[in-house]
Chain A
Amino acid sequence: MTRISVNVDGIAYQDDVEPRLLLVHYLRDRLGKTGTPIGCDTTNCGACTVLLDGRSVKSCSVLAVQADQCEITTIEGVSSDGTWHPVQRAFHEEHALQCGYCTPGMIMASIDLLKDDPDPSEEAVRDGLEGNLCRCTGYCNIVRAVRRAAQEMRVTAP
């Protein structure tokens, strides 16, 4: 067992974990952060994407011990009470989700994408979300949503 200290969605945790414990299982099974799902076993699908010190990672491919001393943001930590993150709002308005299973990872990857490129072209969005698979939407509305969110974030940016 190894002791780790992490900050998840603004709350500090200290836990003893097996070195082999995957971050996604730590988040889900130990912290009850079930908003982050698992879709594959080969790192392809991106359903488990979270932000680790501000950058998107596939949490199925990170050991919990590697996240020691890190700040983690999951889908459950991106919006405060009552207000949604512009990306969340845009996903709703553009019908960019159906079963909702890829959505948490897709939103987290989009938030990271928009940090690097606040005004992405359609092609840039497709390229930036290539690590996130979706079986329901055919991606079209996801692209629309990310570009809509980008526009709204630029308008409201200080």
Chain B
Amino acid sequence: MTTVDERPAGFENNDHKPVGHGRMLRKEDPRFIRGKGRYVDDVQLPGMLHCAILRSPVAHARIVSIDTTAAEAHPKVKAVVTGAALTELGLAWMPTLSGDVQAVLATDKVRFQGQEVAFVVAEDRYAARDALELIDVEYDVLDPVIDVRRALEPGAPVIRDDLDGKTDNHIFDWETGDEAATEAVFASADVVVSEDIVYPRVHPAPMETCGCVADYDRIDGRLTLWSTSQAPHAHRTLYAIVAGLPEHKIRVISPDIGGGFGGKVPIYPGYVCAIVGSIVTGKPVKWMEDRSENLTSTGFARDYIMRGEIAATRDGKILAVRTNVLADHGAFNGVAAPVKYPAGFFGVFTGSYDLQAAHCKMTAVYTNKAPGGVAYACSFRITEAVYLIERIVDCLAYELQMDPVELRIKNFIQPDQFPYRTKTGWLYDSGDYEPTMRKALEIAGYDELRREQAERRACGELMGIGVSFFTEAVGAGPRKDMDILGLGMADGCELRVHPTGKAVVRLSVQTQGQGHETTFAQIVAEEIGIPPADIDVVHGDTDQTPFGLGTYGSRSTPVSGAAAALVARKVRDKARLIASAMLEVSVADLEWQKGAFHVKGDPAKSVTIQEIAMRAHGAGDLPEGVEGGLEAQICYNPENLTYPHGAYICVVDIDPGTAQVKVRRFVAVDDCGTRINPMIIEGQVHRGLTDGVGMALMEMIAFDEDGNCLGGSLMDYLIPTALEVPDWETGFTVTPSPHHPIGAKGVGESATVGSPPAIVNAVVDALKPFGIRHADMPLTPSRVWDAMRGVPRPPV
């Protein structure tokens, strides 16, 4: 049983309807279903060479020597480059998105297994890999720091001795909320519950790995880079800073991208290697990493070790929440977040509840692991924040012996409290939480499920029902607060209407499968009345599109979507002036009906947007002060984030003989305000729910004590197949964002954020007969088995 979104009759097979928002089949599909997408590895240029990277086999070691003689002698090899060679070019280190530096190629020592040590450029991929085997590196192995809890112990090996005066592994301390006020509430509360909650290290693992083709033209001094980039404009600026190339001579092209999920936001050493390879050989150079390189060296996600505490009255009024977090950032601080937010938006850990006080203290440290942290649809650490609050609320329900739904409803922020300022300073824009919760309960048949559970429990069967209710914060963000390396988080949009009434809209954001080519055409169509089929959406090419910060943090709809609506209105305003001349009436006498202006009281007298476009470009006079052409560009600076919310209910069955968890049902009710295309939203939600099953039950990037990565291929890093996920059930409510031009909020990451706690809450609920209040992800059969037998949880 699945709640299918409304499908108006006649729309099923028609790309040309509707004219605006609504279910519309995707414009992207025809090329993808025929194998005519164009992804980075499909790019083939004359004379193109291939780059392969030699990686460290150990987690922590000094590099004693690197012998490249044999590799250089390989007949198909054109260049072998080491950290020493890059040092001469000033490119051995590059800035990260959080103001640290990261080694492009290791110079002094290696700091994680899989780190880049040297690269080879050869005539084909096979020869490049062969030559890697011919490079001889001598390592002086050092003790690694793997257990983040021991990273700050006196005498712990210092990972970042490249940083001046660095004598420990401390990166930063961060704090939010009011410590004293929170302490006071906790001191006088009836009930205090505390739990250690780990969000393990996972990886976004997009189906397409990272890669690029760098083409440096020595004559023009111009670099063209096809790359797997979620933020091509920001990347262009960073390459200008890193490589010292003038920015107007850099063209970054993000072609079709085979999924990003945050893994394609940072700049990786491989991109820089390919650029250097092209500069030194004078030929185009392709670099495509393989899956194991992707899993072991590109941006991981999560890795927060949290102590969560909640204070409440005996009858279930939540008073305060506080948390202490230890954040494992790996060997370089490469967190991709706005600079003033080193912990991302973790500050929204107060969730959907009206509290008296809240406080968080966080410490981030270096370990001998790959860099990353912010990725995998986390909305800048909101996955961790929502997991913490939704898990600790369930722990409270367990202590109070209260139904988890009742406890949540009792504490919801009420609709008349919005815009609501949280105790950690976030201004939630809008929300009406209880109807969303009620809708999920209704679809799931919650009361019936609880009755079934009681019956099954009586027979010794393990059935669990898990609930989560989340508030997201997406659409970074207001430029006064939010920037990435000094670049304000605004987004541009340009709209040109051609003489025949067809249009092209150019975006600064970059789809990786979220359907922007379809939905942005719909936004513009809704505003200006040109059918979406007549609107081409251009994105990903920095020479062709206005500047902006790219797609991540579910920010496309909140920021660029707003820009698209407003640029269309700007064009419409100009069209109105032209229409008034064409109809020989004053502007005030005109009425807009989607696609045409007509004279008030005389609908027969009208001009369509297509007729106006021809007049705008044609011969004949335009009103005084109106230039020819019909186009506009804007840069949208959002005044606030958008705060979508959702209610999720998960039903699991656990096999008592094998401890295997089966997700039987999952109900997701999302509220992202105005819905541009329900079909696409549903697909986004399905994706995120599958992330949740992966993280809650299967996925983890683990390390042994020597720092060997234990999740370095799809043999060990298990992502869900069609067999592990149920037939998703979705529903929605609509609470528009008051500050957004079309009332739309972001949604892409909601399900990834909201589903893991629902699944874990369901598993813990199933294990209630064993007296278990918490168990850490991933809830693999062996971990559930251990939990059922009272074996202590593993430390990390």
| Residues of A bordering B, CB below 8 Å | 18, 20-21, 25, 28-29, 32-42, 44-45, 47, 74-76, 79, 84, 88, 91-93, 95, 97-104, 107, 122, 125-127, 129-143
Contact = CB atoms under 8 A, between A and B. Distances in A.
Given A47-B207, A93-B13, A34 B33 contact: no
B324 to A, nearest CB: 33
Contacts of B720: 139
Given A98-B513, A99-B512, A92 B722 contact: no
Most chain A CB inside 10 Å of its own CB: which residue of B28, B29, B259, B714: B29
The 3 closest A-B pairs by CB, nearest first: A35-B35, A100-B32, A99-B513
Interface string B677-699: 00110111111111000000000
Contact of A103 (B33, B38, B680, B722): B33
A13 B688 CA distance: 43
A44 B714 contact: yes
Given A126-B723, A137-B687, A138-B687, A88 B291 contact: no
Nearest to B715: A42
A73 to B, nearest CB: 11
Given A93-B13, A134-B207, A100 B686 contact: no
Contacts of A92: 25-26, 29-30, 33
Given A34-B35, A37-B39, A141-B683, A91 B29 contact: yes
Given A37-B208, A45-B714, A84 B125 contact: no
13 contacts: A29-B124, A37-B41, A38-B41, A42-B292, A92-B29, A97-B32, A100-B33, A101-B259, A101-B513, A122-B727, A129-B722, A133-B719, A139-B725
Contacts of A84: 33-34
A127 B680 CA distance: 25
Interface in B1-16: 2, 12-13
A103 B690 contact: no
Interface string B653-695: 0000000000000000000000000011011111111100000
A36 B37 CA distance: 10
Nearest to A22: B126
B683 A136 contact: yes
Interface of B: 2, 12-13, 25-26, 28-39, 41-42, 44, 124-126, 205-209, 256-259, 261, 290-292, 512-515, 679-680, 682-690, 713-715, 719-723, 725, 727-728
B715 A88 contact: no
Contacts of A143: 722, 727
Given A99-B256, A132-B722, A138-B688, 5 more contacts: A35-B34, A36-B35, A95-B682, A141-B683, A143-B722
B721 A99 contact: no
Contact of B261 (A122, A130, A135): A135
Prevailing SS type, chain B contact patch:
loop
Contacts of A79: 34
Contact of B207 (A32, A39, A93, A95): A39
Nearest to B713: A42
Given A93-B12, A95-B683, A101 B34 contact: no
A139 B683 CA distance: 9
Given A45-B207, A91-B33, A137 B723 contact: no
A101 B2 CA distance: 26
Contacts of B32: 97, 100, 103
B258 A95 contact: no
A25 B125 contact: yes
A122 B726 CA distance: 10
Contact of A135 (B37, B719, B722, B725): B719
A44 B684 CA distance: 23
A64 to B, nearest CB: 12
B2 A140 contact: yes
A154 B682 CA distance: 28
Contacts of B125: 25, 29
B586 to A, nearest CB: 46
Contacts of B715: 42, 44
Contacts of B13: 93
A142 B258 CA distance: 17
Nearest to A18: B126
Contacts of A20: 126
B35 A137 contact: no
A157 B715 CA distance: 40
Contacts of B684: 98
Given A25-B125, A98-B687, A141-B683, A133 B721 contact: yes
B34 A95 contact: no
B653 to A, nearest CB: 16
A151 to B, nearest CB: 14
Contacts of A97: 29, 32-33
Contacts of A36: 35
Contacts of B42: 28, 34
Contacts of B44: 29, 32, 34
Contacts of A135: 205-207, 259, 261, 687, 690, 719
A100 B206 contact: no
A102 B207 contact: yes
A21 B125 CA distance: 10
Contacts of A98: 259, 513-515, 683-684, 687
Given A41-B290, A93-B13, A100 B727 contact: no
A92 B30 CA distance: 8
A80 to B, nearest CB: 11
Contacts of A103: 32-33
B722 A125 contact: yes
Contacts of B512: 99
Contact of B26 (A25, A44, A95, A134): A95
B713 A40 contact: yes
A33 to B, nearest CB: 8
Contact of A136 (B29, B37, B38, B259): B259
A75 B31 CA distance: 11
Given A75-B34, A79-B34, A129-B722, A141 B686 contact: yes
Given A34-B42, A40-B714, A100-B28, A137 B34 contact: no
A31 to B, nearest CB: 11
Contacts of B259: 98-99, 101, 135-136
A100 B30 CA distance: 10
B207 A99 contact: yes
B39 A130 contact: no
A40 B721 CA distance: 15
Contacts of A75: 33-35
Contacts of B714: 40, 42, 44-45, 133
Given A36-B35, A99-B208, A136 B687 contact: yes
A93 B29 CA distance: 9
A76 B42 CA distance: 14
Nearest to B256: A100
Most chain A CB inside 10 Å of its own CB: which residue of B2, B25, B37, B682: B37
Nearest to B721: A130
Nearest to A20: B126
